[in-house]
Chains A and B, each alone.
Chain A
């Protein structure tokens, strides 16, 4: 049973078909990269999987079941994502961002008569999440004052707070420094093997250092799926990225 499966997925916006007959299967525990030139439909694909968009036709299956539909239900069913453009709670501190994220599955979330500080388990979870992402030094800093790289880290940390079975990351390395990228690689490699990871990335260093298998998307279709060597040797992939003239070189 695959962790994540897309079957004959189509997504159309008016006259434009952004995802065309996309078929993809990710077995549990795999680290899969999804790469492709800009406009290939990578973020749209993630939006379809996580409930932000609904497919024009076709199915997305998680553990064999159809995807829950609305984003909050998708997260509850064990899928979390980080966003391409940071979507942080800007005016709140780093620790509060994490605490709110960790609180989402705790029964205390509906309590309106007691202080949030009374629920220590949630706060501890948040602090542990901060440790994992090397954010402990900046816990009390409002998210809007973080550097771009730190924001990216927080973005991934928030997704991890949901304790997902499947983690989708949308260009987590974008705009980060080499040290931050190295930390990201360590983080991904350090995640438990029972989490399935789908990584949309442009940065091939990160992809090669973390992923078992690579899927190449182009114009909303799967062009090729394979190991690093297979993708690098595939002429259609080169053509998609570099254009027709280079394909034969």
Chain B
């Protein structure tokens, strides 16, 4: 029973980490119909930034704050200076933009390799979050609880912004009818750029948070990004709430199979993906009917 509880918490922790990435990806897609295949690059970028800041200042909290900043800036820059102009010229379809980000994936993987080499780096766990705590009869690492907390906080925050604020409504309106929203005086391009940056920053945040747990290396974005893709497809592309539930499913599947069926651990996620695609290709949580 105690082992099971530990696994549930592990699953939750994995879920929340993937959620941070999935939320950013699905946000960008849902609002701008751009599939950012280079999303893992923001994860990696955030982690390396965190390492740099952490080793310079010795402070985890500073790394946490500053780490996502570079991904944010890169995201804003990418959207406003590359993707937006291309989309506006009308030459590039969503598929083209996705391919473009694929090229970016190559470029960033190469750049990271070049700048940092293949060494494994890390950020030390902060004192405040290290150690274990007694929870429901088990001893569980505080840091993992911290990850769970951050994930949940972000989930609540995003839902609040999108469902209940004017900003969220404006963004949703902007996707529906961009021209109209611009005519109403809203600078939708700036808004989209900021949202892209936000999505990138979330990925970067995930990178910093993951660093004390796993190592920081040039290929770290690749493995987690495939899981992110599975989450986003299972949850329904563009469906923020769906991503949350799908993250839970994928995280739990991962944890359970790691613990109880280690041989099939890797296939479990793909089996999930295949199963969902056979039964409901539009994602488990999509509630919008596709008009023929």
Instruction: Give residues in A with beta carbon < 8 Å to B.
Output: 13, 47, 51-53, 71
| Cβ A71 vs Cβ B292 within 8 A | yes
State the Cβ distance, A85 to closest chain B Cβ, in Å: 13
Q: How far is the CA of A47 from the CA of B289 in the complex (A)?
A: 14
Which chain B positions have C-beta within 8 A of A51?
292
B 281-292 to A, binary, CB cutoff 8 A, 1 in contact else 0: 000000001011
Nearest to A71 among chain B residues (CB) is B292
Instruction: Give chain B's interface secondary structure class.
Output: loop
Instruction: Fill in one digit per residue for B258-292: 1 if any A CB lies within 8 Å of its CB, else 0.
Output: 00000000000000000000000000000001011
Closest CB-CB distance, B239 to chain A, in whole Å? 15
- Nearest CB in chain B to that of A52: its residue: B292
Q: How far is the CB of A223 from chain B (nearest CB, A)?
A: 24
Known: A51-B292, A52-B291. 7 other contacts (CB 8 A): A13-B289, A47-B291, A47-B292, A52-B292, A53-B291, A53-B292, A71-B292
- State the B residues within 8 Å of A (CB): 289, 291-292
Q: How far is the CB of A83 from chain B (nearest CB, A)?
A: 11
Chain B residues closer than 8 Å to A71, beta-carbon distance: 292
Q: Which chain A residues lie closer than 8 Å to B289 at the CB level?
A: 13
Docked Cα-Cα span, A51 to B292, in Å, equals 8
| Assembly CA distance A47 to B291 (angstroms) | 9
Nearest B residue to A48 by beta-carbon distance? B292
Q: How far is the CA of A53 from the CA of B289 in the complex (A)?
A: 9
Closest to A44 in B: B291
Chain A residues whose C-beta falls within 8 Å of the C-beta of B291 in the assembled complex: 47, 52-53
Q: How far is the CB of A133 from chain B (nearest CB, A)?
A: 25
Whole-angstrom CA separation of A14 from B274 in the bound complex: 28
Task: Report Cα–Cα, A180/B289, bound state, in Å.
Answer: 36
> Nearest chain-A residue to B291 (Cβ)?
A53
Query: Closest CB of chain B to A44's CB: distance in Å?
Result: 9
- Residues of B contacting A52 in the complex (Cβ-Cβ under 8 angstroms): 291-292
Question: Given the complex of chains A and B, what is the CA–CA distance between A53 and B292 in angstroms?
Answer: 6
Closest 8 pairs between A and B when the two form their complex, measured CB to CB: A52-B292, A53-B292, A47-B292, A13-B289, A53-B291, A71-B292, A47-B291, A52-B291
How far apart are the CA atoms of A71 and B291 in the complex, in Å? 13
* Chain A contacts for B292, CB-based, 8 A: 47, 51-53, 71
A13: chain B residues at CB < 8 Å are 289
Give Cα A107–Cα B289 distance, bound, in whole angstroms. 34
* Minimum distance in angstroms from A243 CB to a CB of chain B: 26
| Measured CA separation A163–B292 after assembly (Å) | 23
| Bound Cα distance A53, B291 (Å) | 7
Complex contacts, A53 vs chain B, CB 8 Å: 291-292
Nearest CB on B from A100, distance (A): 20
Q: How far is the CA of A51 from the CA of B291 in the complex (A)?
A: 11
Q: Which B residue sits closest to A43, measured CB to CB?
A: B291
What are 7 contact pairs spanning A and B, CB under 8 A? Answer: A13-B289, A47-B292, A51-B292, A52-B292, A53-B291, A53-B292, A71-B292
- Closest chain B CB from A220 CB (angstroms): 15
CA of A95 to CA of B169 in the docked complex: distance in angstroms? 48
Q: Which residue of B lies closest to A47 (CB)?
A: B292
| A52 CA to B130 CA, complexed, in Å | 57
Among residues of A, the one whose C-beta sits closest to the C-beta of B292 is A52
How far is the CB of A52 from the nearest CB of chain B, in Å?
3
Chain B residues contacting A47 (CB-CB under 8 Å) are 291-292
Residue in chain A with minimal CB distance to B287: A14
A152 to B289, CA, bound (A): 28
